[in-house]
Structure 1
Amino acid sequence: MKHGGKCFFSVLLLPLLLMLPVISISLKQSMKQSTEILLRTQRAQLEDPKTHLRDWIPSKHSPCDWVGITCDYQTHEVISIDLSEFELSGTFPSSFCQIPTLQNLTLADNYFHGGISSNDMTPCFKLRHLNISDNLFDGVLPEFEPQFGNLRLLDFSQNNFSGEIPRSFGRFPKLQVLRLFSNGLNGTIPGFLGDLSELVAFEIAYNPFAPGSLPVELGNMTKLENFWLPVSNLVGVIPESFGNLVALRNLDLSDNDLEGRIPDSIGGLRSVEQIELYNNWLSGELPESLGKLSNLRNFDASQNNLTGKLPESFLGLQLVSLGLNDNNLEGEVPEIIASNTRLVQLKLFKNKFSGSLPKDLGRNSDLEDFDVSGNRFVGELPSFLCYRKKLSKANVFNNRFSGNVSAALGDCSSLTYVRIFNNELEGEIPVGLWSLSNLTLFELRNNRFQGAIPSTISNARSLTQLLISNNQFSGKLPLEICGLVDLSVADLSRNQLSGELPACMTGMKKLAKLDLQENKFSGRIPSKVSSWRDLTELNLSVNRFVGEIPNELGRLPVLNYLDLSENLLSGKIPTELANLKLNKFNLSGNNLAGRIPSGFDNNIYLSSLVGNPNLCSPDLKPFTPCPKTKTTSWFLIVVILGLIALLVLSFFWFCKSKTKTIGRKVKLSWKLTSFHRVSFNEEEIFASLTDDNLIGVGGSGKVYRAKLKTGQTVAVKKLWGISVKPEAERVFQSEVGTLGSIRHINIVKLLFSCAGDDFRVLVYEYMENGSLGDLLHGEKGGVLLDWRKRFTVAIGAAQGLAYLHHDCTPPIVHRDVKSNNILLDEEFCPCVSDFGLAKTLRREGGEGDNIMSCVAGSYGYIAPEYAYTSKVTEKSDVYSFGVVLMELVTGKRPIDSSFGENKDIVKWVADAAVATQENGDGDRSSSLRHLMDTRMKPSSADYEEMEKILNLALLCTSAFPLNRPSMRRVVELLKDQSAVSFSSMPLSK
C-alpha cells in the first residue's frame, strides 16, 4: 500500500518536473523582455540629469534590483515602476506599459511635460495604479478606453491640464482614488462622476472650474470617505443628496461661492469626522440635525452669513475644533460646551453673541486656541481657560467683559498670544501674566487696568509686542524691561507711568515702534540711541522730559515718525533731524531755543514748531528774526581759514596715503569684473563709501551714492561681510550671473563688480528718483502724482520682466518683484533691480531646475501657490507685478491696516470688485473709483484707464497660475487696454 502510494505521487510529480524547464525559460524570456523595455524607454524618453537611474545597465540581468523597480517575490516579474522625486524630465513614457505584468506606474514629483493623448494611455490598460502628479503635463485630459477595468488609483494632480473632465472618467468600475486637484481644469464638474460607485477619495480641488453647482449625482458615491473640493468656483446650494454619503469622513467645500442653507440631510453623514464649509455665502440657521453626527470632530463654517442661535445638541458633540467666526450668529453660548472633554480650538469671533460665557469653559478639555473677539459678551472671563495648562492663544477683545483677570491665567506657561483690549476689565494684572516665557504678543489696550509693571517682566524674553495703552498703569518702568531683547513694538501710551526712562532701553536693538505719549515720564531722553537701527516711530509727547534733544536721533536710518511735543525740552533743534525722512514731525510745546534749522524753516513745519517762543527764523512767522552775528575781525577770519585749509590738506594727504595702501593690498586680493566701459576705478569707488553718501540699508548690505570725478553718479552696493552674512555670496553671484549677461533699457545696469576676501561690491547706474515704493509710500509721496507717469512706469517695468521671461535663454524668474525693486531715473523711466533671489529655469532638467526649499520674496507680493507647490515659474512674478499695478492705482501698500483684519491689497481689491459686481448696475468698474489714489487728480479718461489697469491687476493675481497672463501678454494688454474687459475677470470671494 505504501509502495503503491509512492508510485501514485511519482506519476503526479513527473509532469510538473518536466514543466519546470519550460516555466524557467518563460520567466527568463519575460524578464528579458521587461529589461529591454525598461532600457529602451530610459534611453528614448527619460532625461536623467541627476543620474538617479545609473544602475539601470544591461550587465545586471535582473531589473528587480534596480532603483524604482519592484518585482513579484514569487514570479520575479516586474509589477511596479516608482520613479517619484527623481528629477526626471521628458514626455510621458508610455512604453513602460508594454511590460505585460506592470500594475503600478508612479512618476510623481518630476519634470515630465507635454500633452498626453488617448493613444499614449492605451497600452496602460492593465494598470491598477497610475500616478503622474506634480509634473508639468499640459493640454486636455486623455480619454480612457473601456478596457481600463482594473484601475484603482488615478492621480493627475498638480499639473497644468485644462479643459473639461472627459466622459470616460466616469467609467472606472473599480476606481477608488481620483485626484485631479491643482490643475487648470476650466469646464464644469460633471454629474457622471457620481457613477464611480467604488470611489473612496474624490479630490479635484484648486481648479478654475467654470462657475457651476454641485451635481446631485455625486450623492450616489456611498463608499466615499474623502470629498475634497475647496477653491473650485462652486455656486448654488449643497444638494440634499449629500446626506447619502454615509461612509464620508471628510467633507471640504470651503472657499467657494455656495449659498443657501446647510441641508438638514447633513445629519445622515454618520461617519463624518470633519466638515469644512468656510468662506462661502451660506445662510440661515445651523440645522439641528448636526447634533446627530456623533463622530464629528472638526467643524468650520466660518466666513459665511449664518444666523440664529447655536443648537444645544450640536454644542454637545465631542468636537475638537469649532470655527464659526465671521457670521451673524447670536444669543448665548450653551453651557453644555463646557462639558466637552476634547475641545481644543474654539473660534466664535465676529458674530453677535451675547451674555456670559460658560464659567467652566476650559475645565474639562485641553483648550489651546480660544477666540471670542468682536461679540457682545459681558461678565467675567472664565477662570478655567488654562486649567489644563495648554492654552496658547486667548483673544477676547472688542467685547464688554468686566471684572478682574483670573490669577490662574498668570500661571498659564503655554500662552503665546494674549489680546484682551477694548473691554471694561479692571484691577491689577496677575504678576505671572507679565512674565510668561513663551508670550510673544501681550495686548491690554483700552481697559481700566492699574498697578505697576513688575520687574519679573524680564522673564518674558519671547515678547515682540507689548501694547498696554489707555489704562491706568502707574509707577516707573523697571530696569528689567531692557531684558526684552526681541521687543519690536512697545505702546505704553495714555497711562500714568512716571520716572526716568531706563538708559539701558537703548540696547533694545529690535525696537521698531516706541510710543510713550501722555504719561508722566521725566528726566532726559536717552542720548545713545544709535543701536535703534530698526526704529520707525518714536512718540514721547505729553510727558515731562527735560534737557536737549539727542543728536543721534537724526542718524537713525529708518525713523519716519517723531513726536516730542508737549514736554519741557530745551536747547537747540539738532540739525541732524533734517536728515530724517519724516512722515510725522512734532516738536511743539517745549522750551526749545535758537535758530530753526534750514531743513525745517518753512510753513510746512510751522504747526510742528509752535509753542517754542525762543526759536527764531529769518522768514518763518510768527517766530522772531534771529539776531545777526557780530562781524569778526579779518585777522580772526584769516586764522580760522588757515586752520581749516591746513586740516583739509592733512586730511587729503591722509586719505590719499590710505587709499594707496588699500589699493596696493586690494590689487593683490580683489577680483574685478567690468560689464560696461567705465572711466573710473575701484579706488575712487571705495573712497566714496562713507556715511555721508549712504542712501539705503537692506538685508544684504548698504547702498551708497558715489559722485565721481568725471561728473558721473553711480550707486554702490556693499554687501555685508561673507563671514557675517554667508548668504551675501549667493546674492552677489546671483546679481553678477544675471545682470552681467543681459542688456535691456528696463533692467538696471550693473557696471562692474569687485570681490575681496571678505567683501563684495556691486556698482550700478544711479537712478535719480529712487524706488517706486519710496515715491508711492515714502516721504516723496507727493512726487509721482501724475497718472500718465505711473502708467509709463507700469509699461516699462512690465517690459523688463517680459524680457527676463521670454527673451533670455534660459528664462529668468526674478522672485522678488515689488515696488521697492523698481527704480526710476530722472525721466521716471523704470528699471527692474535687485536680482539677489533671481533663478534661471531649465525645464528639461539639469542644474537650473528649481525646487525651492523655502518661500522666496517679500510679504504681500508672494503668490498663493507657494502653499501647495515648491516649483518656481514665471507666473509667480506675474502675481507680484499684479500687486505692483494695484499699488500704482490705489497708492496703498500691499499690507495696510485700512484693509481690515487678515486682508492684503489683493483681497481688498477683489472683495470690492465682487461687491460691485453684485450691485447689478451693469457698470461695476465705475464703482471701483473709491479705490483710486486720492492724491491724484485724474481726468475722466484717466479714470477709465485706471479701472482697466486695476482689472488687469486682478487677472495677474488670480489664485490659479494658469489664469494669469504671461508677462509678454501683460505688456500687450497695457499697450492695448481695449483688450481688457471687466466681464473677463474671474472673480471669487
Structure 2
Amino acid sequence: MGSLTLHTVVSSLVFLILFFVSNFSLPVSSDSNEEAYALLKWKASLQNHNRSLLSSWINDATNVSSKINPCSWSGISCNDAGRVVNISLPNVGLNGYLPHNICRGGALQYFGVSNNHFQGTIPKSLRNCTRLIRVRLDGNNLTGNISEALGIYPNLTFINLSHNNFYGEISSNWGKCPKLGTLNVSMNNITGGIPREIGNSSQLQALDLSLNHIVGEIPKELGKLNSLTKLILRGNQLTGRLPTEIGSLTELEYLDFSANRFNNSVPESLGNFQKLHYLGLGNNQFVLELPKELEKLVQLSELDASHNLFGGEIPFQICSLKTLEKLNLSHNNLSGSIPHCFEGMRGLSVIDISDNQLQGPVPNSTAFRNAPVEALEGNKGLCGGVKGMQPCKVFSSHKQNSGAKWLAIVFPVLGALFVAMALIAIFILRKQNSDSGDRQSSNQNPQGLFSILNFDRKLVYDEIVRATNDFDAEYCIGNGGHGSVYRAELPSGQVVAVKKFHSPLPCDQIADQKEFLTEVKALTETRHRNIVKFYGFCSHARHSFLVYEFLERGSLAAILSSDAAAQELDWSQRMNTIKGVADALSYLHHDCFPPIVHRDLSSKNLLLDLEYEAHVADFGIAKFLKPDSSNWTEFAGTYGYVAPELAYTMKITEKCDVYSFGVLALEVIKGKHPRDFLSSISSSSLNTDIELDEMLDPRLPAPSRSVQEKLISIVKVAFSCLNESPESRPTMKIVSQQLRI
C-alpha cells in the first residue's frame, strides 16, 4: 500500500512538472501547434497566387515531436505562452475564405484582414472569441447575416465591417460591449432600424452606419453617447425629425445626416456642437429657415444643406463662422439677397447657392469670384463681378501715386487671374525701371509707391516697416535659404508674420524670383484650415516680402528641440498634428486643380498655433502638376525628407510628398528625426509588427492602452508611406481617411 502511494505521488509530481513546463516554459505549447496547423490549412485553402505572400508560413518542425512556431510568421504575433493573439494581414491581396476555426486557441485579440478579396461568411468561432479587442474585416466581399454573425465582446474597442455585402439588421448586442469605441458597418446591405440599445455603449466615439438601407427614426437614446465624436448616418432611408436629444452630443466633430428622408425643421440643439468640423444635412426634406444657431458652430469648416426645402433668407449669422471653408446651400427655396458680410469670410473657398430664389449683388469675395457658373445659376437676378454675370456694382481699386514706377500689392481676395497679371507686371515694370537707369534713393519713403491692403483696406506697408524697425534683427524669428521671417505687430493690434526676401528681387536673382512667384501663386489658390493663411505680398525696390498669419507656437522643429516645449505637446496633440498635415496634403493633391506638390514638407515648415493646430507653410518650391505631362524638375527639398526615387529621377509626383509625410509622422511620435530608424526600414519590413516602445518620445509619459492602439495605427500608416516604390505608397486622400478611423 505504501509503495503504491509512493508511486502515485511520484507520478503526480511528474505530471505537475510536465504540466508546468508545457504551459510556462519557452517552447510553444501543443495548443499553439494546433493553431499553427490551422493557419497552414488556411494558407493551403487560399488561391495559389496568394500563397507566396505568406512565404514565411511553413512547417519548420524537424520531426513529429517538434513544435511549429507560428510566432515568427509574417502578420502573426503571440503572447508569452506562444499563443496567437494577433493576425494582421491588411492590403495584401489575399483571395479565399476566412479560416473556419480562427479563434481555436481562444487567445485571439486582434484580427485584421482589411482590403483583401475574402468572400463567404464570418466564421462562427469568431462569435465566441471573447478576448477580441480590435477587428477589421472592411474592404472585402464578405456576406452573411450580420445580426447572427457576431456576439458580445467584453474587451472589444474597435470593429470595422464596412465595404462588404452583409445583410440583416444591426444587433442590439453592440450595446452590451462596454468598451466599444468604434463601430463601422457602412456600405453594406443592412436593413431594419437603429436599435436603441446602442445608446448604452457609453465609450462609443465613432458610429458609422452610412450607405445601407436602414429605416425608421433616430432613437433618442443616441443622445446618451456623450463620448461620440463622429456620427455618420448618410445614405439610408431614415425618416422623421431629428431628436432634440442629439444636442447632448457635445463632443461631435463630424456629423452627417445627408441623403435620408428627414423632415421638419432642424432642431436648435444643433447649436451645441461647438467642436463640429463637418455638418451634412443635404438631400433631405428639412423645411422652414436655416437655424440661426449655426453661428455657435465655431469650429465648422464644411456645411452642406443642399437639396432641401429651406426657405427665407440666408441668415447673416453664417458670416460669424470664420473657420468655414465650404458652403453648399443649393437646391432650396432661399430668397432675398446674399448677406454682404460674406465678403469678410476670408477662409471660405467653395460656395454653391444654385437653384434658389436669390437676387441682388454677389459678394465680392474669393469664393464667389472663383465659383463656376453652375454654382450661381438658377436664381432670380444675381449680379456682380462674376464671369458671365451682369455687373451691378463697379469695384474701384486703390489708386497708386502717380509717381509710382513699380507695382504695388495684390491680395488673395483679388483672384488668381489678377494675381498672375500683377506678378507679370512686377517684372515688366522692374525691367523698364532698370533699362531707364532710374536710381531711387534707398532711404526714400515708399508710401505711395508700394502699399499693402490689409482686410480693413488700410495702408499697412509703412506699418510693417515701422513694426519691425526696418526689419531689425530684434524682430527676426527665423531664417531660410531665400529670406528671413519677422514678427510684426500692427497698430491695430493684429500680429502678422513677414517673410522678407534677402534681396528686393532684381531681375538677375532668378532663384529668389521663382520662389517668390511660386509661393504667392500657391498660397493665393489654396484655402485650408491646416495651411498657413496668406494675407498679401509686396515687391519693392527696398523690400520684397510676403505676409502671413502669425502662428504663436512656431515651428514643430523648434518645439521638438526643446525638452520643455516637447513635453507640452502631448500624445493627443501630436496625433492631431499628424492628422492635420495629412488633411492639408490631401487637399493640395486631390482638391486643387492642378494638383499642388509641396516638395519641402519638414518639421521646420510646419507651424503650430496656440491650440497646437498644425499649419503647413513655405511653398517656395511647390510644384503645380501639369496634366498629361511628365513634370520633370530640378532636385529640391530638405535632406532627410526627400523621397528616395529623386536620387535617380527628377520626376515629381504626389508620392514625393507622401514619403515626406511618413518621415514627419515618425518624427512627431519619436520626438526627433528618425534617421537611424529609416535606414533599417525596407519594403520587405513595412508590414511587420511594430515595437512601439522604440518609437515613442521618452520625454512624454507612457500612453494609455487606447492611445497606444491609435499610435500603432499611425505608425503603420507612416510605414506604408515610406515604401521604396512610389506606386506602392498610398495617396494622401487614403492616408487622411485611415487616420480618421
TM-score interval, normalised by the smaller of the two chains: 0.5 to 0.7
Instruction: Map Cα deviations across residues 934-969 of structure 1 (whole Å, 9 max, x no partner).
Output: xxxxxxxxxxxxx9x99999999997436999xxxx
Contact kept? 1:565, 1:590, Cα under 8 Å: yes
- Partner SS state of residue 240, structure 2: strand
- Say whether residues 1:925 and 2:676 are aligned partners: no
Contact kept? 2:353, 2:376, Cα under 8 Å: yes
Larger radius of gyration: 1
Equivalent AA in structure 1 for residue 99 of structure 2: P
Distance in 2, matches of 1:954 and 1:539, equals: 32
Equivalent AA in structure 2 for residue 836 of structure 1: R
- CA change 1:765–1:544 in 2 (3 A) is closer
- Which residue is equivalent to 2:402? none
User: Displacement of 1:787 after TM fit?
Assistant: 9.9
Contact kept? 1:862, 1:879, Cα under 8 Å: no
- Which residue is equivalent to 1:499? 264
- Which residue is equivalent to 1:612? 379
- Say whether residues 1:590 and 2:367 are aligned partners: no
* % identity of equivalent residues: 22
- Partner SS state of residue 548, structure 1: coil
User: Displacement of 1:543 after TM fit?
Assistant: 0.5
User: Displacement of 1:429 after TM fit?
Assistant: 2.1
- Say whether residues 1:859 and 2:578 are aligned partners: yes
Contact kept? 1:413, 1:437, Cα under 8 Å: yes
- Say whether residues 1:578 and 2:343 are aligned partners: yes
Distance in 2, matches of 1:880 and 1:626, equals: 43
Distance in 1, matches of 2:272 and 2:569, equals: 32
Q: What's the TM-score once normalised by structure 1's chain length?
A: 0.43
Match for 2:538 among 814, 826, 829?
Answer: 826
- Which residue is equivalent to 1:396? 161
Contact kept? 2:485, 2:500, Cα under 8 Å: no
- Say whether residues 1:287 and 2:287 are aligned partners: no
TM alignment of 1:289-688, pairs within 5 A: 289=59, 301=75, 318-381=83-146, 383=148, 385-434=150-199, 436-580=201-345, 581-599=347-365, 604=371, 606-613=373-380, 615-617=381-383
- Partner SS state of residue 247, structure 2: helix
Instruction: Map Cα deviations across residues 869-915 of structure 1 (whole Å, 9 max, x no partner).
Output: xxxxxx9746969x8689944569xxxxxxxxxxxx999984xx66x
Query: How large is the Cα RMSD of the aligned pairs?
Result: 5.4
Instruction: Map Cα deviations across residues 333-353 of structure 1 (whole Å, 9 max, x no partner).
Output: 222124432111111112221
Distance in 2, matches of 1:524 and 1:954, equals: 45
- CA change 1:290–1:524 in 2 (3 A) is farther
- CA change 1:526–1:298 in 2 (3 A) is farther
Equivalent AA in structure 1 for residue 186 of structure 2: F
- CA change 1:909–1:890 in 2 (3 A) is farther
Contact kept? 1:302, 1:327, Cα under 8 Å: no
- Partner SS state of residue 124, structure 2: coil
- Which residue is equivalent to 1:712? 463
User: Displacement of 1:541 after TM fit?
Assistant: 0.5
User: Displacement of 1:369 after TM fit?
Assistant: 0.5
Distance in 2, matches of 1:506 and 1:793, equals: 42
Contact kept? 1:541, 1:563, Cα under 8 Å: yes
- CA change 1:411–1:612 in 2 (3 A) is same
User: Displacement of 1:852 after TM fit?
Assistant: 3.4
Residues matched between the structures, number? 498
- Partner SS state of residue 529, structure 1: helix
Match for 1:747 among 484, 488, 505?
Answer: 484
- CA change 1:248–1:821 in 2 (3 A) is farther
Contact kept? 1:878, 1:964, Cα under 8 Å: no
Distance in 1, matches of 2:356 and 2:545, equals: 45
- CA change 1:302–1:887 in 2 (3 A) is farther
Higher relative contact order structure (alpha carbons within 8 Å, sequence separation ≥ 6): 2
TM alignment of 1:55-204, pairs within 5 A: none
Equivalent AA in structure 2 for residue 409 of structure 1: W
- Which residue is equivalent to 1:869? none
Distance in 2, matches of 1:741 and 1:565, equals: 45
Equivalent AA in structure 2 for residue 283 of structure 1: L
Instruction: Map Cα deviations across residues 55-89 of structure 1 (whole Å, 9 max, x no partner).
Output: xxxxxxxxxxxxxxxxxxxxxxxxxxxxxxxxxxx
- CA change 1:358–1:860 in 2 (3 A) is closer
Distance in 2, matches of 1:505 and 1:462, equals: 16
Distance in 2, matches of 1:750 and 1:518, equals: 47
Contact kept? 1:509, 1:533, Cα under 8 Å: yes
Distance in 2, matches of 1:429 and 1:363, equals: 24
Distance in 2, matches of 1:510 and 1:953, equals: 26
- CA change 1:861–1:376 in 2 (3 A) is closer
Contact kept? 1:298, 1:320, Cα under 8 Å: no
User: Displacement of 1:925 after TM fit?
Assistant: 2.3
Instruction: Map Cα deviations across residues 700-740 of structure 1 (whole Å, 9 max, x no partner).
Output: xxxx99757x95358999xxxxxxxxxxxxxxxxxx99857
Instruction: Map Cα deviations across residues 262-315 of structure 1 (whole Å, 9 max, x no partner).
Output: xxxx99xxxxxxxxxxxxx97355635279757767965289xxxxxxxxxxxx
User: Displacement of 1:357 after TM fit?
Assistant: 0.8
Distance in 1, matches of 2:484 and 2:566, equals: 24
User: Displacement of 1:528 after TM fit?
Assistant: 3.5
Distance in 2, matches of 1:436 and 1:391, equals: 11
- CA change 1:485–1:539 in 2 (3 A) is same
Contact kept? 1:547, 1:571, Cα under 8 Å: yes
User: Displacement of 1:485 after TM fit?
Assistant: 0.5
Contact kept? 2:556, 2:606, Cα under 8 Å: no
- CA change 1:571–1:347 in 2 (3 A) is same
Distance in 2, matches of 1:954 and 1:496, equals: 42
Distance in 1, matches of 2:325 and 2:202, equals: 32
Distance in 2, matches of 1:392 and 1:787, equals: 53
Equivalent AA in structure 1 for residue 649 of structure 2: S
Instruction: Map Cα deviations across residues 686-713 of structure 1 (whole Å, 9 max, x no partner).
Output: xxxxxxx997xxxxxxxx99757x9535
Q: What's the TM-score once normalised by structure 2's chain length?
A: 0.55
- CA change 1:739–1:819 in 2 (3 A) is farther
- Partner SS state of residue 343, structure 2: helix
- CA change 1:290–1:466 in 2 (3 A) is farther
- CA change 1:405–1:737 in 2 (3 A) is farther
- CA change 1:409–1:906 in 2 (3 A) is farther
- Which residue is equivalent to 1:167? none
User: Displacement of 1:418 after TM fit?
Assistant: 1.2
- Partner SS state of residue 334, structure 2: strand
Match for 1:836 among 536, 553, 566?
Answer: 553
Distance in 2, matches of 1:823 and 1:554, equals: 19
Instruction: Map Cα deviations across residues 609-640 of structure 1 (whole Å, 9 max, x no partner).
Output: 22112x24377798778799xxxxxxxxxxxx
Contact kept? 1:768, 1:826, Cα under 8 Å: no
5+ residue gaps, structure 1? 1-245, 250-265, 268-280, 304-316, 629-678, 680-692, 696-703, 718-735, 755-759, 770-785, 797-817, 842-846, 864-874, 893-904, 918-923, 933-946, 966-985
Equivalent AA in structure 2 for residue 589 of structure 1: D
- Which residue is equivalent to 2:686? none
Contact kept? 1:346, 1:369, Cα under 8 Å: yes
- CA change 1:824–1:376 in 2 (3 A) is same
User: Displacement of 1:470 after TM fit?
Assistant: 0.8
Contact kept? 2:497, 2:547, Cα under 8 Å: no
- CA change 1:526–1:712 in 2 (3 A) is same
- Partner SS state of residue 445, structure 1: coil
Distance in 1, matches of 2:320 and 2:179, equals: 40
- CA change 1:930–1:414 in 2 (3 A) is same
User: Displacement of 1:605 after TM fit?
Assistant: 5.1
Instruction: Map Cα deviations across residues 625-679 of structure 1 (whole Å, 9 max, x no partner).
Output: 8799xxxxxxxxxxxxxxxxxxxxxxxxxxxxxxxxxxxxxxxxxxxxxxxxxx9
